[in-house]
A and B are shown apart, each in its own frame.
Chain A
Amino acid sequence: MEDVALFVPCLADQFLPEIGVSVVKIFRKLGVSFTYDKRQTCCGQPLVNAGDRKGARKVAKHFVSIFEGSEYIVAPSGSCIHTLKEHYPRLLADEPVWYQRACEVSEKAYELSQFLVSILGVGDVGARFEAKACLHESCAVLRQLGVSDEPKTLLKNVGGLDLVPLNDADVCCGFGGEFSVDYSNISEAIVKDKVNNFKASGADILILGEPGCLLNIRGYMSYNGVGGQVRHIAEILAGE
């Protein structure tokens, strides 16, 4: 149906492969023709955030040359897509040919829910998932990509899923990559608020679209013995 290149972010690849597996399930169910290029590694976001532009530039070129051939690039992460869209053109601004290639890549990059709803026009993926859940609107998805209605539409149409509101759903979970280790006490205070809001929501599952937030919130909950699950939206949408 479409020529889609699947990009599985490094965090998901290494720690949360089930997210990638879920995306594959969704694509197969919807009949999306996709490829997974085995040369892929990481978009270079950690390097951008650390200020290592030299390194990030090289990684960006590697990424662009792998992905530029396909019609769409889809990833189950907002922040990686944002890296492609916002930072690649900036990083490569001084190299006209690369800049052009980066812009072309950035124009066809989509976060998963955005791709399903806006490009495929699918609001209902025919999934079933029995649970009471709420949605954390990850900053990269909500603010950097402006994607908010799409995941809500998809989740509303999941059979058996009771979606309840989450207080301060649009407030950061305190991850921030290196922030979470360099300022772990501040990060802890922020994620604690997020988890308290989750507890107060009465939901059993916290759904989100960003592997980084997932590791942060899940790590905090299991360390502190808080009940409930944190799941990536792809896992819910792959539910049968």
Chain B
Amino acid sequence: MRPQSENFKELARKNLANEGQRKILNQFSLILKALRDASFTTLPDEKAALEKGRRIREDAIKNLPYLLEMFEENATKAGAKVVWASDARQANDFIVSLAKEKGANLCVKAKSMISEEISLREEFIENKIETYETDLGEFIVQQAGKTPFHIVGPAINMTIKEVSDLFNKVIGLPETEDPTELAKGARMFLRDKFRNAQIGISGANMAVAETGSIILVENEGNIRFATSAPKTHVVLMSIEKVVPTISEAAYMLKLLTRSCTGQRISNYVSVITGPKKAGEIDGPEELYIVILDNGRTKIYADEVLRSALQCIKCGMCAAVCPVYTHVGGYSYGWVYSGPIGAVLNPLLLGLDKARDLYHATTLCGACKDYCPAGVDVRNIVLDLRAKEMDGDRSFDAEAPPALVKIFYRIWAWVLLDYSRYKIASRIMRIVMPFVIKYGKASNLSDRLIQWTRCRDIPQVAPKSFHETYSELKK
């Protein structure tokens, strides 16, 4: 998926103007929050549960190198072939050449954000391997030539009518506004693809170090089909998916499905440990697990930023984000959207290519309150802004113009002494009305004008509290 995060402002402006989409986003957020809250009441203590989730994920990320090696060892013992890919190119090259080696011309795909990140489907199609997304939402998105709107609900922004028109056009389904009929149409269309595909590709919700298992969570059954019918199953996972034990995985599963869709458990949970064994009827003959880094080791190396890797991709943060619920998923310009996208996209693409994402946040912190994995988006955002201000190139931050730095330097200097602060506030009182009235030349006055676009500028009090206080004392 081609990154467009640089165009956040423009994309956000366009999406804000889309009234229909805004309505869907409102509904989506309202319903999901209610379902989620209801599902959490079945746990004895929501706060304690979230805290436990945070601890499990934080510890897993802390011990990442060790856990990954343990996972590799145990997955290999179970008969899987583990392949390490340092970037998108390596992962794509390996999977494409494997598919060719197996003589594959048809591939079924389960939903995987990592595959979007490395544009695997596009690579397959370029290499003349017919490839189908089999998750209903992703199938719609693929057929419509769009990109996922939300990490969990890739097509939530589309209306039934739009899907009906699309299915009529691409799979010849008679027009219907019955969602069950539409889903059935997609299922019938995909049935033969599952049966005839030589290769199935999935992501991984979790990888269990102690058993070498992959856990896949879904509601439609397409993942189980795609990972068991074809002779070769390729798992594409990123390095942070690993958890130490099955019991910790089971606990995270409780939090994942509740936060994802408000379900206590999803319709299907597959635990895949190695390929089909002797005497087993179902399952692939070969299982490959591609473990992708693609910039994550660098994130791991930073003690503040690594919290971003704790994310289990439930998508709840987006539903409670005041920015996401207004600008929608496309505005983020790349695979990940919502609060986690606001930090992951810059970290993976480079801060200079997604600068707006970590600035376009109110810092309200709702994402952190709802996160089942303890990702502290707020602090990561502030850290990225500090990296930018310092011109720290470790994540390709572009330092702000010298004038901005001088502006803040003066500001800090003013705050260090009340007499300077007082002079500054006097100057502000004199200058501000003129700036608002006449000044459009400077960056500063442009920012003031942005405020006044929809709000009255607050009147500076004739006397500050500081000055009033002396009179109050009497």
Contacts and interface: CB of A to CB of B under 8 A. Distances in A.
Q: State yes or no: do A and B come from one complex.
A: yes
Interface of A: 8, 10, 12-17, 19-21, 24, 36, 38-42, 44, 46-56, 58-59, 62, 139, 143-144, 170-172, 174-191, 215-216, 218-220, 222-224
A183 B364 contact: no
Q: Most A CB atoms within 10 A — which of B366, B389, B428, B465?
A: B465
B418 A13 contact: no
Contact of A15 (B388, B421, B460): B460
Given A51-B385, A55-B412, A184 B458 contact: no
Interface of B: 9, 12-13, 16, 322-323, 326-327, 356, 359-366, 368-369, 382, 384-390, 408-409, 411-412, 414-418, 421, 425, 428, 447-448, 450-461, 463-466, 468-469, 472
Contacts of B414: 41
Secondary structure at the A interface, as helix, strand, loop or mixed, is helix
A20 B409 CA distance: 28
A172 B416 contact: no
B358 to A, nearest CB: 9
Nearest to B469: A36
Given A14-B425, A15-B459, A139-B365, A49 B415 contact: no
B418 A185 contact: no
B389 A143 contact: no
A162 to B, nearest CB: 27
11 contacts: A15-B460, A21-B465, A49-B385, A59-B415, A171-B366, A179-B363, A183-B360, A185-B13, A185-B453, A186-B360, A224-B454
Contact of A53 (B361, B389, B417): B389
B382 to A, nearest CB: 7
B458 A219 contact: yes
Contacts of A174: 322, 362
B12 to A, nearest CB: 6
Given A21-B465, A40-B418, A184 B450 contact: yes
A182 B361 CA distance: 10
Contact of A51 (B362, B389, B448): B389
A219 B458 CA distance: 7
Given A14-B460, A17-B464, A55-B408, A172 B454 contact: no
A87 B309 CA distance: 22
Contact of A58 (B356, B416, B425): B416
A181 B468 contact: no
Contact of A171 (B322, B386, B417): B322
Given A13-B464, A15-B461, A17-B468, 11 more contacts: A14-B428, A14-B461, A14-B464, A16-B461, A20-B468, A41-B416, A49-B385, A59-B416, A215-B458, A219-B456, A219-B458
Contacts of A219: 451, 455-458
A190 B105 CA distance: 49
Given A41-B418, A176-B361, A186-B360, A13 B458 contact: no
A50 B388 CA distance: 9
Contacts of B359: 178-179, 182-183
A199 to B, nearest CB: 16
A175 B460 CA distance: 18
Contacts of B458: 15-16, 215, 218-219
Given A14-B461, A51-B389, A172-B322, A181 B415 contact: no
A129 to B, nearest CB: 20
A45 B451 CA distance: 19
